[in-house]
Amino acid sequence: MSNIREVAKVAGVSIATVSRALSHPDKVSKNSLKKVNDAIALVGYKPNMLARNFRFHKSYAILVLVPELANPFFSTVVKGIEDVARQKGFNVLLGDSRDSIDREKEYLKLIETRQADGVIQLRPHRPADGQIFSHADFPVVSACGCVGTPYPSVRIDNAAAQQQVVEHLISLGHTRIGVITGLADNPHSIVRLKGYKQALENAGIPFDDTLVTEGDFSLWSGLNSATQFIHMDQKPTAIVAFNDEMAIGAIKGFKSVGLDVPNDISVTGFDDIEFSKYNEPTLTTISQPATELGKTAMNLLHRLLEGKTLAQQEYILPFEFIVRGSTANKA
């Protein structure tokens, strides 16, 4: 069984350098790191990382709390996180929280018990979270959340994005614009609804709360909301859905009763998942920089894990409004 002494000998460096290369690879010169890694491969040394982790009280793993793993938007954010985590020598533990704070608390035991060093939270902060994250004694970063996150965060300006979508619909002559939110208490629902209202207000269109339906970000809930709109006496001529899945579901619902999208009714999404380009019609939507959100979040978390401070509490990345085939002039 080879050991660290042998590695040091073959690498031509001190045992301390080998130890440092294993524990803090970023603190060793590239040249030394290469020597050590080559020597490790050559002598077939397998460091027991659990021993290292125990000694340094670090696990070199981070925990990502994902509200819905099957949502392609989140899996793209996770990819960005993973890319940077691997560069920095960290493993990614994924916690499928299913938007439940109780499940999140279970996962946070990984931190308490030192099996993870920090957290990236992918769902937006809620008042009910209290100080779980804002006064945590571990590094935590919010990715793709909302305004008012009381801990370091990276996100887009959700209200401005939704406002731009609605302004586009108003420019096409629509004044009766239905909404499919996420769950009513989801901050994304609240913030994007603000953007919707702002666009109406700017155009002098009164807000009508009967036009707001509640979804849950799933395909099915979009279909369900479409059914509600179809049965209204004064039907909307355009619909803004607060994510792409619900927009795709709603389009399905409208087409199933013979309505043409966009000629009878326009529909917009949010996120720009890959499927939005393949839907018929293709989806007018907001493109979130999903990979970049993930990468930035991991870079911020890494700074915190190194005991450094962040220049800002909030990093706002640019979104892009993409007009495709699901929106048209009011008939």
Applying CB under 8 A, does 198 fall inside the site for a second copy? Answer: no
DSSP helix/strand/coil, 66: strand
Applying CB under 8 A, does 255 fall inside the site for a second copy? Answer: yes
Applying CB under 8 A, does 274 fall inside the site for a second copy? Answer: yes
Q: Which whole-number Å values give the CA distances from 31 to 9, 14, 285, in the listed order?
A: 16, 14, 47
Q: What is the smallest separation between the CB atom of 92 and a second copy, expressed in angstroms?
A: 6
**Which one of residues 11, 165, 248, 328 is an interface residue with a second copy (CB under 8 A)?**
248
Burial (CB count within 10 angstroms: exposed 0-12, middle 13-18, buried 19+), residue 129: middle
Binding window for a second copy (CB under 8 A); candidates: 57-65, 130-138, 296-304, 308-316? 57-65
d(CA 211, CA 149): 28
- 212, 179 Cβ separation under 8 angstroms: yes
d(CA 288, CA 143): 12
Q: What is the smallest separation between the CB atom of 216 and a second copy, expressed in angstroms?
A: 13
Applying CB under 8 A, does 34 fall inside the site for a second copy? Answer: no
Which helix H or strand E contains 63, and what residues bound it? strand 61-66
Applying CB under 8 A, does 96 fall inside the site for a second copy? Answer: yes
Return the structure tokens found at 305. 């894990």
Q: What is the smallest separation between the CB atom of 168 and a second copy, expressed in angstroms?
A: 24
Alpha helices in the chain (DSSP H): 4-11, 15-23, 30-43, 49-56, 72-87, 101-112, 158-171, 187-202, 219-230, 244-256, 290-305
**Which one of residues 26, 38, 106, 201 is an interface residue with a second copy (CB under 8 A)?**
106
Binding window for a second copy (CB under 8 A); candidates: 7-15, 128-136, 166-174, 276-284? 276-284
Q: What is the smallest separation between the CB atom of 210 and a second copy, expressed in angstroms?
A: 26
Applying CB under 8 A, does 135 fall inside the site for a second copy? Answer: no
Q: Which of 196, 63, 35 is nearest to 119 (CA)?
A: 63
Q: Which residues are at the interface with a second copy (CB under 8 A)? A: 46-51, 53-54, 57, 59, 61, 69-70, 72, 75-76, 78-79, 82, 86, 91-94, 96, 106, 110, 112-115, 219, 223, 248-249, 252, 255, 274-275, 277-280
